[in-house]
Amino acid sequence: MNQISPKANKWLHCLEANGCRATMTRRAVVETLAGSQRALTPLEIFDLCRSQYKNMGLVTVYRTVEKLEELGLVQRVHQPSGCQAFIAAADGHQHLLICQNCGLVTFFSGENEMIEGLMDQVSNQSGYQINSHWLQLFGYCASCREPAKNPQFNR
Ligand SMILES: [Zn+2]
Ligand SMILES: [Zn+2]
């Protein structure tokens, strides 16, 4: 296998520290997800890894992804079909932008005063003590918006 990325390496260390041996198939799942800018479902990860690892099992993919989520290394991305896709978790509080065409996931800072201020406002109005929030915005990324590249959008 090629040189493993620093992020994937960190994830593997975390997995090992939590009782998951770094098998070849588990490494492949970690590398695929750590290196992806698109949110991937376990089935997509399975398909991407299967060409190289004939003995890859869907159960391995599910278990590895579950463990990575438990460790806070990946986060779920909402999709119309449910929250089954995963992306590498951002450092600190971030908001997500998700392209509905190519699946690109971009983070933008959670240090946005207007959005965080809105949470205070909602808290004051509802009487809730708000501990956390998730913000995911859906649309088309800059390159998918370009009509020349994607005539189907035509805007
Ligand atoms: Zn896009
Ligand atoms: Zn926020």
Q: Which of 59, 89, 119 finishes a domain?
A: 89
2 shares its domain with 78: yes
Residues 7, 88: contact at Cβ < 8 Å?
yes
- The predicted-structure confidence for 22-74, as pLDDT tens digits, reads as follows 899 999 999 999 999 999 999 999 999 998 888 899 999 999 999 999 999 99
Q: Looking at the structure, do residues 111 and 79 belong to the same domain, yes or no?
A: no
pLDDT tens per residue, range 69-103: 999 999 998 877 777 899 999 888 889 999 988 88
Ligand nearest to the CA of 143: 1
Ion ligand 1: residues, CB < 5 A = 99, 101-102, 104, 141, 144
Query: Tokens 């859906």 — which residue?
Result: 138
Ligand nearest to the CA of 102: 1
Last residue of a domain, one of 68, 89, 110: 89
Gyration radius from the chain CA atoms = 18
Among 89, 6, 53, 10, which Cα is nearest to 18's?
A: 10
Q: Which two tokens stand for residue 66?
A: 């579950």
What is the pTM for the complete model shown? 0.80
For residue 52, the domain's CATH number is 1.10.10.10
Distance 20 CA to ligand 2 centre (A): 32
